[in-house]
Amino acid sequence: MQTIFHLDLDAFFVSVERVLDPTLEGKPVIVGGDPSGRGVVAACSYEARKFGLHSAMPIKQAFSLCPHGIYLHGNFKEYTRYSRLVKNLLEQYAPLLQQASIDEFYIDFSGCQKIYGSFIQLAEKIQNEIWTRLKLPASIGIAGNKTVAKIASDFNKPRGITFVCNGMEKDFLAHLPVETIPGVGKVTLRELNSRGIYKVDDIAKLPIDYFSSALGKFGIDLWEKANGLGSSFIVLDREQKSISKENTFDKDVTDYNILYETLFYSIGKVCQNLRDDEMQASTINIKLRYSDFQTLTRSKTIPHTDDDKIIFEVAWNLLSKANTRRVGIRLIGVGVSNFRKYSEQELLFEDLEARRKKMLRAVNIIRSKYGFNKIFIGLEKNK
């Protein structure tokens, strides 16, 4: 029988900040930058969530709900360091480990019951060791596949353990709200609610063809998840193949200025990651999803670069040519791939390109210290 653990570090950024500064314990802490700026909440403590705050909320809105909160820019180098420490600890237990994000891990313990005995006791042991050694709280979901395990890890936070027995997946999910299913965002939630679908069981009771015709491949995936189905395949660590950023709009967009600004911001994030990893990319990909869920992708290969301006110009040209439909856009995405390691050559005479490369790396240093939204790279406004 397949047995998958999903370990989720609770309010991870805030938890790391509390390790670094124990006086933050028990206080409403918000990581995301200056509350007078234009950023969003990256993470918030459970004390702050009592005031209605949540991740991705505009920082100004968060401040209006919780003006007495402690607002921090964040220390992403420390978050990465603690994430690696957790991974190193888990590797001592796990035959197969997949890091899904900076604060999420899938572990395959299939066939290990004779070694470890009770899986609940094993989860408690792992949970306690992470707390004792690193002072980081974690929640664990246990199930026969990754989707249900992920949902289970969020079921009893913080520091919870939820075990979904084999064959009980559908019953466990039945009465949960549909937004519990990974991949169901605000736009999809409104679409489902408009069809009278509010609970996971409302999806499971309908035929798969209903969702296939209404939502395409996404609808099939949604129906399978609602019925407790999911992959148990663990993706082992390997060289990163791409870096991407997607944005799903609250309302379908037709305004090119909004698309322009959103793409510009997303590419800034992508290029920031490129430079942090000391990499350059040569293939640029864009993705558009329309209000009727039709999705198109385009790509172009250019000489290797990590420059926001160059990548933006290519991506915007791809998007402008591809977007020929008079239909609202619900999602826009950009990605880069085909990497090579960045190497800075010593130049006898510093030209404009060399100076720009130094400027881009200075931008990364400022963002790492003070937050992404503290500085933006100028670009000619769309006309």
Half-sphere exposure of 215 (CA within 13 A, CB side): 19
| Beta-strand relationship, 70-72 and 29-31 | parallel
**Is 47 one of the annotated active-site residues of the chain?**
no
Burial label for 175, CB within 10 Å (0-12, 13-18, 19+), is exposed
Angle between helices 256-276 and 352-370 (to 10 degrees): 90
Local structure of residue 177 (DSSP, 8 states): B
| Beta-strand relationship, 96-101 and 161-163 | unpaired
β-partners of residue 367 are none
Active-site position among 17, 25, 47, 104: 104
Residues 6+ apart with CB under 8 A from 225: 147, 181, 182, 183
Give the other-Cβ count within 10 Å of 339's Cβ.
20
CA gap 86, 104 in Å, rounded:
10
Q: Which residues are catalytic?
A: 104
